[in-house]
Amino acid sequence: MGLDITVLAVDWEELARTPVGDRQEALWEAAAPDTDWDAQPEVGWVFPASPEVPWCGRYEFHSTTGSYKPHFWAAQAWDDVRAFAGPALRAALDGFLRDLVWEGEGVDDLPLCPEEGFFPGDAEPWRLLVACPPPTVSALAAHWARAEPLLEGLREAYGAHAASPGRWIADFDEFAVLLREWAVVVGEAEERGWGLLGLPG
């Protein structure tokens, strides 16, 4: 899987006001602004993502080099270990991961595609890896608030059922680091009242 991901925080109202024919171009400018291609990408949040699109921020994960593979394997690891998680943690992480990297039991088709009509006037669904309008972001933040205090309790079960040395997300620590980065992403968007989009690269 050679897929990459670029995560954007998006002012949903500004995106909705953007003419239909200009929306994707604006988002691609936010994802990959016309800057020095030899420069190392800034990790963490960049606001604005581009001077041309001040209503978007861009997040670069610290340890993934832009690849979608760690996110895919985190979802696989959750599939492997979720049956061994306590009910409260299972429910919270199901809710947190479902709209980010995990589609639920028995569903493994990626990338995700929002339903038609996701943005008024769009002729067809966009091909996106993550598509969370502001209400979904708020729900994700609430799920994480319940999951985070319980996460360490998953360590032993993860080691027994999901650890895979040599793979992306090899152990519990790498799993927890990626989840906490997603929590940073969700928290920033939620604080602004914005949505999240994950563009494939």
Domain ranges of the chain: 5-200
Cβ-contact 60, 41 below 8 angstroms: yes
Q: What confidence tens digit (pLDDT) does each residue in 137-170 have?
A: 999 999 999 999 999 999 999 999 999 998 899 9
Please report the pLDDT score of residue 147 as a whole number.
Answer: 98
Please report the pLDDT score of residue 110 as a whole number.
Answer: 38
Lowest mean pLDDT among 65-74, 125-134, 166-175: 125-134
Q: What confidence tens digit (pLDDT) does each residue in 7-64 have?
A: 999 999 999 899 888 888 999 999 988 655 455 667 899 999 999 999 999 999 998 8
Q: What pTM was estimated for this model as a whole?
A: 0.88
Please report the pLDDT score of residue 35 as a whole number.
Answer: 59
Cβ-contact 93, 82 below 8 angstroms: yes
**pLDDT over 70 percentage in the chain:** 84
Residue type, 152: E
**pLDDT over 90 percentage in the chain:** 68
pLDDT above 50 for 105: yes
Please report the pLDDT score of residue 114 as a whole number.
Answer: 45
Beta strands in the chain (DSSP E): 5-10, 44-46, 56-60, 130-132, 195-200
Cβ-contact 111, 200 below 8 angstroms: yes
